[in-house]
Structure 1
Amino acid sequence: MNVGSYFSENSKTALKNEPPGAWMPNLPDGCIRLSSGYPDPALIPAEGIKAAVARLLDEEHDLPLHYLGSPRMARLKQQIQRRLAERGICVVEEQLLITSGACQAIDLIARILLDEEAVVAVESPTYMEALEIFQNYTKQIVSIPIDEKGIQTDRLKEMLDERKRKGLTLPRFLYTIPTFQNPTGTTMITERREHLLELSAEFDFLILEDDAYGELSFDKNPPPIKSLDKSGRVLHVGSLSKVVAPGMRIGWITGDSAFIKALEWFKKDLDHPFSQSTMAVYLENTNFEKRLHLLKDVYRAKCAVLLRALEQFLPDSVSWYVPAGGYFVWVRIPGVDTSELLSQSLAEGVSYVPGKYFFLNQKDGTEFLRLSFSYANEKEIMEGIQRLGKVIAPF
């Protein structure tokens, strides 16, 4: 039997891409994981989740274990609405969809908006899993460079003007991580957020705002683009993965109710009633502002350790952006292919993600790598960068 003959043409095209997760290195035992964009294990509220499960089942018995789930699923929606309102995003129930994490949210948006004729614009570099998703739906992807102030909106305008002048298809939407970007850690300044909204109206495209790290500032949280949106052009994606626990798979999309209705059509009943109900109970019994304060303190301190280690152990030729929040530091090593360097780094017992995986044209990322300060402890961070410095030193 020729299994491939049964796949749709879209699937055959998508399966020619690199497999999901190809960027993730196989780590030797004892390796210091500066590649892992995961929360600090000590910050996962295991006991709080355990207590929430016990309370949920004690109070509701079998309800959360059925298809329809618990009444607390609706309460979770209200809890997220309140958190969004505190950040300037005021939405009614019909403008909010709970998803199984941010990746399902991005995939659903791609599913309803993209086809092989559609163009999508992305930042360069950008989140590699979003690239993987978009490439499953279209090959027409254009990238716009970022700098320390976020996406270069003047370059975006040049691209849009040129495509319009040549009669080329304009982007259906632009995907951006404006706040503590993955992989660079940079934050888009307010002027560029406003300019981006102006361009979206002028050239009639949507904005997919991925705000997964938006609450993890070391100082003040920048306003989400959605909070500045007056015409409904922004689809805002958020998640509790970085501030509670990624395994709970709680994310959301906010947007115009017509978009949310279409997204629900394709999402169908692919909810996780038990997980959503448990999260609702956890949030009911958690001082979330206090928790966020703890997260910020821990990640601020770990980032400072990483930056000090970079200054101490890496050559002067190496440069990086200084993040104001989030999980990541983006490093450039001139003249070095970081993909080829990775095997030596792993042999020394430290991992990172080569920069090429974050670019549409992977050759643009050969000199870069992404380091995460979120998962490893401070001692491991210092030791990891010292090991990395030994690997880089000969170059």
Structure 2
Amino acid sequence: MVKMNVESFFPENIKTALKKNPPGAWMADLPADCIRLSSGYPDPALVPAEQIKAASATLIEEEHDLPLHYLGSPRMIKLKKQIQNRLVERGISIQEDEILITAGACQAIDLIARVLLDERAVVAVESPTYMEALEIFQNYTDQIITIPVDELGMQTDVFAAVLEERKRTGLTLPNFLYTIPTFQNPTGTTMSLERRKHLLELASEFDFLILEDDAYGELAFNENPPPLKAFDTEGRVFHVGSLSKVVAPGMRIGWIAGARSFITAFEWFKKDLDHPFAQATMAAYLENVNFENRLNTLQATYRIKCDILLRSLEQYFPEQVTWYVPEGGYFVWVKIPGIDTSQLLEQALALGVSYVPGKFFFVKQQVGTEYLRLSFSYADKEEIIKGIQKLGQLFSRLLK
């Protein structure tokens, strides 16, 4: 019997993608009782488990088997309207056929990449950026332009210079830019209003699209900045959002808001890959929740936890260590000069504390060896203090 050669069935682009690190390679195996400063998850106490349980029960009681069928519940349409209304409150005015519900933000990003990228296409990203988005883009193209981030978000002046140079030398311009302008993952920074407007001007001048990942956009400690999509007059921005950070990640509810012709194309490739029961349950939950009150609770909780983490950094970390101060979201981005944080992770885990090494957020991983991402969203207040104290002791020993 001839042994089957599995690889022979893969096309070349799939073989190339499979040579890269597998999805989630950045996620370390955590010991029991580890203080999880690595987890970009909501605070467990803020996940509305009982309310979702009640919503699910109401759904079944009222609609019986309907939400469990392929076509699902009429509440799926209601969910789209509920999200549409929330976007209007944030300055994004769209029609019903300009929004597509997806299985979380990652499916939205993957659909956009699948439709708009091939091996010849160029995509621009912030540096550093969300590692799972990088994993998605690298499945479709190796041509990735990186634009640095500082305390005011992506440096649009640098991006402008890159675009000018590529145009002058005849290099391919990007199909789209991927950006997390508000409370960025991993840096926690927020793009200034001036840069937001500049970015839209560049998109028009150099004829590219913008994928705006707004997963953290409603988690401001003070005021929520307006999304890029709110300024979009040409239909160049795809606004990708999610209820994972403000309700529950396991429900897998996300969306793309964009120009009708693009939404039609994304829907074409999405086909019927919906989660009818999850979508209907979320709609039933949203029917009976004061969402503004919920956001106020989330914002207040994360503001307090972020302050605790920042004060702990000041108290326990060596003076050589620096970080950005976020205005919302989940994360603090830390630089430890002269230390390879990926090599140090094993020692941190032995102490019972986790973080995400910075290299995983960069296309060229060697650029990020001195950085790490800390999350204040998941661990409780006492764990945050204890975890930072342990990391501070570890870093102090090494930097001496």
Bucket of the pairwise TM-score, normalised by the shorter protein: over 0.9
The whole-number CA distance in structure 2 between the counterparts of 1:85 and 1:350 is 41
Q: Which residue of 1 aligns with 2:266?
A: 263
Q: Which residue of 2 aligns with 1:124?
A: 127
Residues 165-314 of structure 1 mapped to structure 2, 5 A cutoff: 165-314=168-317
The whole-number CA distance in structure 1 between the counterparts of 2:98 and 2:167 is 32
- Alignment partner of 1:148 out of 125, 147, 151: 151
- Alignment partner of 2:65 out of 62, 65, 70: 62
Q: Does 1:47 align with 2:50?
A: yes
Q: CA RMSD, aligned part only?
A: 0.4
More moved, 10-19 vs 320-329: 10-19
Count of matched residue positions in the alignment of Structure 1 and Structure 2: 395
CA displacement at 1:355 relative to structure 2 = 0.2
The whole-number CA distance in structure 2 between the counterparts of 1:86 and 1:227 is 10
Aligned to 1:158, what secondary structure does the other structure show? helix
The whole-number CA distance in structure 2 between the counterparts of 1:17 and 1:276 is 33
Deviation >6 Å, runs of 4+ = none
Residues 45-70 of structure 1: CA deviation (Å, up to 9, x unaligned): 00000000000000000000000000
Aligned to 1:393, what secondary structure does the other structure show? helix
- Alignment partner of 1:11 out of 6, 10, 14: 14
CA displacement at 1:341 relative to structure 2 = 0.8
- Alignment partner of 1:72 out of 72, 75, 80: 75
Residues 221-250 of structure 1: CA deviation (Å, up to 9, x unaligned): 000000000000001100000000000000
CA displacement at 1:385 relative to structure 2 = 0.2
The whole-number CA distance in structure 1 between the counterparts of 2:351 and 2:360 is 22
The whole-number CA distance in structure 2 between the counterparts of 1:364 and 1:203 is 28
CA displacement at 1:8 relative to structure 2 = 1.6
Q: Which residue of 2 aligns with 1:81?
A: 84
CA displacement at 1:15 relative to structure 2 = 0.3
The whole-number CA distance in structure 1 between the counterparts of 2:79 and 2:32 is 39
Q: Does 1:28 align with 2:41?
A: no
- Alignment partner of 2:324 out of 321, 326, 336: 321
Q: Which residue of 2 aligns with 1:332?
A: 335
Q: TM-score, normalised by structure 2?
A: 0.98
The whole-number CA distance in structure 1 between the counterparts of 2:73 and 2:393 is 54
CA displacement at 1:257 relative to structure 2 = 0.2
Q: TM-score, normalised by structure 1?
A: 1.00
The whole-number CA distance in structure 1 between the counterparts of 2:119 and 2:224 is 37
Query: Structure 2, unaligned stretches of length 5 or more?
Result: none
Aligned to 1:122, what secondary structure does the other structure show? strand
The whole-number CA distance in structure 2 between the counterparts of 1:306 and 1:142 is 33
Letter in 2 for 1:110: A
Query: Structure 1, unaligned stretches of length 5 or more?
Result: none
